[in-house]
Amino acid sequence: MLENKLKVTVSGRYDKNQNFAGYFTPRASAVFSPTDRHHFRASFQSGFRNPTPSDQFIKLNVGPITILGGAPSNSAGMNVYENSFNSTSIGGFVNGFLADVNKVGPQQAVLNNKDKLVKSNVPYIAPERVQSFEVGYRTLLTSRLSLDANYYYGAYRNFILNTVVIRPNSPVLAADGSINPAAAQDILNSTYQAFQLYTNAPDRVTAQGATLGLNYATAGGYTLTGNGTWSSFNLQNADPNNIPAFNTPRFKTNVTFGHRNIAPNLGFNIAWHWQEAFDWVGSFNDLRPGRIQAYHLIDAQVTLKLPAYKTLLKIGASNLTNQYVVQAYGSPAVGGLYYVSLTFDQGLRR
């Protein structure tokens, strides 16, 4: 469009799983190049992640609790999603009952405190959803120096999680819609079953980030590139217990230097990576932040072409200086990796 200065791509995808509603996920992108040296781009994407078969169909009784997948057919006839209490409301009811029972007797103590119980309203499991926007700009500052800038913003919802509910033997609600005293008594008599259900968080969270990169090529064939990345995760008003941890440092940088043909059939590349310290959150540390220290690494590789054998010989190292670094809280410290590889390429010409 616009005499080939504007290129637009639009696509759409429709998916239907027998356990979920159909989902249409559109995507679109545009690149505007007013000149050969300036290129503006923008895109919109949407996507989803279906629950795994385990998320949908696990049915595991481990004694005190039953782990139950969130597909409707998996719990048919069990009356769990329809007739249960929020587990978080049980403590308030029991504590209130114990405080009143010696004053007014057990029956009245149940009636006084039964409304502290809360009927659960757990939806059946649904796919996770994401929508993201991205804008970018690339330009040639000189004939040998280029700049690339990029910004993205994404919104996520329906994160898959587990929630615990308590199903009494009696109906949770009485005929008038209030909490049934018989169900409250079931809690005191331990005539109930606990369930860990797979469902989705109602919370909405966002992530955003930006990258700035420079690429410089010398007349002698050397290439020097560098980029920096900023990432941010916003929980907004979400419950942190409902949201997978972002576990990404705010700032990361990369610098590379190399030559594809510094000598006949010989090339090399050296890369330096750095990231800042950040807090790692996961089940290993019971969702309490664990500090990952900042670190930097050097990677290096030499590539030799062997045209007579149509083969590439590569000798290299990841973490050349063998610094032991921890990349996830609770994981082992990892040092250098050194390798030699031979790649046979029938299409190799020189």
pTM of the model: 0.79
Q: Is the pLDDT of residue 56 over 50?
A: yes
Q: Is the pLDDT of residue 347 over 70?
A: no
CA distances to 142, 245, 311 from 204, rounded to whole Å, are: 43, 14, 51
Question: Higher confidence at residue 228 or residue 330?
Answer: 228
pLDDT grade for 288, boundaries at 50, 70 and 90:
confident
Per DSSP, helices labelled H in 157-285 are 181-189
Closest Cα to residue 243, out of 207, 283, 205, 209? 205
Which whole number is the average pLDDT over 338-349? 83
pLDDT value of residue 147: 98
Q: Is the pLDDT of residue 148 over 50?
A: yes
Which range, 179-193, 236-250, 285-299, is most confident? 179-193
For residue 326, give both structure tokens: 């921890």
Q: What are the residues whose beta carbons fall under 8 Å from the beta carbon of 70, sequence distance 6 or more?
A: 51, 55, 56, 124, 125, 197, 198, 199
pLDDT tens string 236-280: 888 887 888 899 999 999 999 999 999 999 999 999 999 999 999
pLDDT value of residue 86: 94
For residue 306, give both structure tokens: 């062997």
Q: Check: CB of residue 185 under 8 Å from CB of residue 174.
A: no
Residue with tokens 């659960």: 120
Which whole number is the average pLDDT over 223-237? 95
pLDDT value of residue 350: 47
pLDDT grade for 322, boundaries at 50, 70 and 90:
very high
Per DSSP, helices labelled H in the chain are 53-57, 90-104, 106-113, 181-189
Which whole number is the average pLDDT over 148-169? 95
pLDDT value of residue 63: 87
Closest Cα to residue 205, out of 167, 232, 169, 172? 232
Q: Which amino acid is at 159?
A: F
Q: CA-to-CA distance for 102 and 29, rounded, in angstroms? A: 70
Average model confidence (pLDDT) across the chain: 94
Q: CA-to-CA distance for 35 and 29, rounded, in angstroms? A: 19
pLDDT tens string 87-128: 999 999 999 999 999 999 999 999 999 999 999 999 999 999
Residue with tokens 């941890």: 245
Which whole number is the average pLDDT over 51-66? 94
Q: Check: CB of residue 252 under 8 Å from CB of residue 229.
A: yes
pLDDT value of residue 226: 98
For residue 84, give both structure tokens: 């249960």
Q: Is the pLDDT of residue 55 over 70?
A: yes
pLDDT grade for 349, boundaries at 50, 70 and 90:
low
Flag the least confident range among 51-55, 189-193, 333-337, 346-350.
Answer: 346-350
- Strands in the chain per DSSP E: 6-15, 23-35, 38-49, 59-61, 65-68, 85-86, 128-140, 145-157, 160-168, 192-200, 204-217, 222-234, 251-263, 266-275, 278-280, 290-292, 295-306, 311-318, 337-344
pLDDT over 90 percentage in the chain: 86
Which whole number is the average pLDDT over 205-220? 96
Q: Is the pLDDT of residue 286 over 80?
A: no
